[in-house]
Structure 1
Amino acid sequence: MTDERLTLTKRKLLAGVGSVGFASVGAGLGTTALFSDTESFEDNSLTAGALNMRVTVDNIAHSTTIVRDNTTVTPADTADGDAVTVAVDDMKPGDWLILEWNPEIIANPGYVRVTSVDEDYSNDEGATPEPEGATASPGDLGDAVLSTIWQSYDDLSGGSSPQDLEGLDQTTDRNDSGLGSYEEPTNLNGETPGGAHYTTMNEAHDVYKTGVLLRDPSTGDPLEVGSNSDAAWFYQLLELPLGVGNDVQGDSVTFTLRFDAQQVRHNDDPFNNSA
């Protein structure tokens, strides 16, 4: 955001005008002197505050180096004013990856809203290899890949694993189970032993396409990003379960996440204030 500068007009302040009379003892003529003083307050200005957000994304964990090498982010790693597009190619049943999203706000604290841009989302039917057979557009991958959001990632296992994810976000849990840590789904529908129901890519997009406000997981209040130099992190797990059929072969999913920031101060209803 470009700083806007408003300079106030200089005003001279006449501090005092007075007169004192004196009697002339020599010539019998009266003389008068005027005392004056002027004080100035110059170069007064008001400067509008700044609000600047940048977002970094990193592929922090993956099932294989092939998945890592076939994950591309545009623009690379950090966006400052642009949308972030993520494309994952050549996923096989059993593959997964974890994306770490890190929005940070500079200068003033702000609220952050995340949107899966509807016009940029695609679930396309690709080439039809022999095992897949005849299928129709759209593709099948968007209903097969599970996409979930987690509050934290603690590398407790000594390696890279979805088991290190904690705090399933309710926006990607169809049962709103409050699942505390990752559980492997028991079926292709994304249901887990603890009662969670993970969303697919298509289902997660349907939730985020209208915009989701980042919230404090302990209170549910809108999260203030940037207070005391704090940033925010959340983690997106993308996994293609074992047992997925040949229908997904050659299909592709591309999505864009847009991050919007709005100041905290004088903002009781983030992204709904008209003022």
Structure 2
Amino acid sequence: MSDNTFDISRRKVLGSIGLIGAGSAAAGAGTMAYFSDTEESTGNTVSAGTLDLELSTQANAPISVPDAKPGDTGNAVWQLNNAGSIDGGDIELDVINVVSLENGYEDPEPVDDDGDGELDDYLKVEVGIDPDYANDTDLGDGDENDVLSKANIHTVASNGPQSAEEGLSTSETKYLYVKWEFPNNGNQNDAQGDQVTFDVEVALKQN
């Protein structure tokens, strides 16, 4: 075999090797390709719900007693509704802002110098929830939840907020009641003309 023939054959072989290498590279690149598709979920929002406790007078509310005397009792009732969008998990009750006023001294009343009245020393209150109040007679049917049991008004106020351990859904109506009593404990002339003011705070909390 001549040298020229050898040279030509070598070029062909080298060319073939080059083609094979190029083909291998192309094949390797092809294995990295893949199909894909992308979609988007749009318009996502998160909105907070609401608790909106509404309190409306039902009977004898607010309490306004001008001439209470020893032995008198009374009550007042308010309707409770949740006008929000989520159910309330718990109702809390509290008696706050108790103020005792002397309002001067009547003739039988002993005079003191502290400026505070004495009616608050005798006044008792009870605060609770009635699920199905209809009238004053119904208020004593035994299904009331006396969250703040009857006691001297200062004792009740000192207890702080108390849970009713019952909620108020968006479809429910319940009733807040306040019962008061001016017990007859004998000679209570020191309370004549005195006045007591107080507030009842109602809070509705989420589940």
Question: Deviations along 1:155-180, whole A, 9 cap, x unmatched?
Answer: 7xxx95698352573632xxxxxxxx
> Which residue of structure 1 lines up, in the alignment, with residue 47 of structure 2?
47
Give the conservation status (yes or no) of the 8 Å contact 1:53–1:261: yes
> Which residue of structure 1 lines up, in the alignment, with residue 164 of structure 2?
214
Cα distance in 2 for partners of 1:203, 1:162 equals 27
> Which residue of structure 2 lines up, in the alignment, with residue 96 of structure 1?
73
Aligned partner of residue 156 in structure 2, secondary structure: helix
Cα distance in 2 for partners of 1:53, 1:124 equals 31
> 1:109 deviation in Å?
0.9
Aligned partner of residue 203 in structure 1, secondary structure: helix
Give the conservation status (yes or no) of the 8 Å contact 1:113–1:214: yes
Cα distance in 2 for partners of 1:141, 1:171 equals 20
> Which residue of structure 1 lines up, in the alignment, with residue 57 of structure 2?
57
Is the alpha carbon distance of 1:168 and 1:258 closer, same or farther for their aligned partners in structure 2, counting shifts above 3 Å? closer
- How many aligned positions are there? 165
Give the conservation status (yes or no) of the 8 Å contact 2:128–2:164: no
Q: TM-score, normalised by structure 2?
A: 0.65
User: Is residue 141 from structure 1 mapped to residue 93 from structure 2 by the alignment?
Assistant: no
Cα distance in 2 for partners of 1:165, 1:150 equals 13
> Which residue of structure 2 lines up, in the alignment, with residue 272 of structure 1?
none
Q: TM-score, normalised by structure 1?
A: 0.50
How do 1:107-126 residues align onto structure 2 when only pairs under 5 Å count?
107-110=85-88, 111-117=90-96, 120-126=97-103
Is the alpha carbon distance of 1:89 and 1:205 closer, same or farther for their aligned partners in structure 2, counting shifts above 3 Å? farther
Cα distance in 1 for partners of 2:124, 2:138 equals 13
% same residue = 22
Cα distance in 2 for partners of 1:132, 1:59 equals 33
Gaps of 5+ in 1: 1-36, 61-71, 74-85, 173-197, 216-222, 265-275
Structure showing greater Rg: 2
Is the alpha carbon distance of 1:236 and 1:244 closer, same or farther for their aligned partners in structure 2, counting shifts above 3 Å? farther
Cα distance in 1 for partners of 2:204, 2:192 equals 38
Ranked by relative contact order (alpha carbons within 8 Å, sequence separation 6 or more), the top structure is: 2
Give the conservation status (yes or no) of the 8 Å contact 1:150–1:169: yes
User: Is residue 254 from structure 1 mapped to residue 197 from structure 2 by the alignment?
Assistant: yes
How do 1:10-89 residues align onto structure 2 when only pairs under 5 Å count?
42-60=42-60, 73=62, 87-89=64-66
Is the alpha carbon distance of 1:53 and 1:161 closer, same or farther for their aligned partners in structure 2, counting shifts above 3 Å? closer
Cα distance in 2 for partners of 1:171, 1:133 equals 32
Q: Which has the higher helix share?
A: 2
Give the conservation status (yes or no) of the 8 Å contact 1:126–1:251: yes
Is the alpha carbon distance of 1:161 and 1:42 closer, same or farther for their aligned partners in structure 2, counting shifts above 3 Å? closer
For the aligned residue pairs, the C-alpha RMSD in angstroms reads 3.1
Q: Which has the higher strand share?
A: 1
> Which residue of structure 1 lines up, in the alignment, with residue 168 of structure 2?
225
Give the conservation status (yes or no) of the 8 Å contact 1:56–1:101: yes
Question: Deviations along 1:34-86, whole A, 9 cap, x unmatched?
Answer: xxx997755443322122111223335xxxxxxxxxxx63xxxxxxxxxxxx5
Aligned partner of residue 86 in structure 2, secondary structure: coil
Counterpart of 1:236 (choices 175, 178, 185) is 178
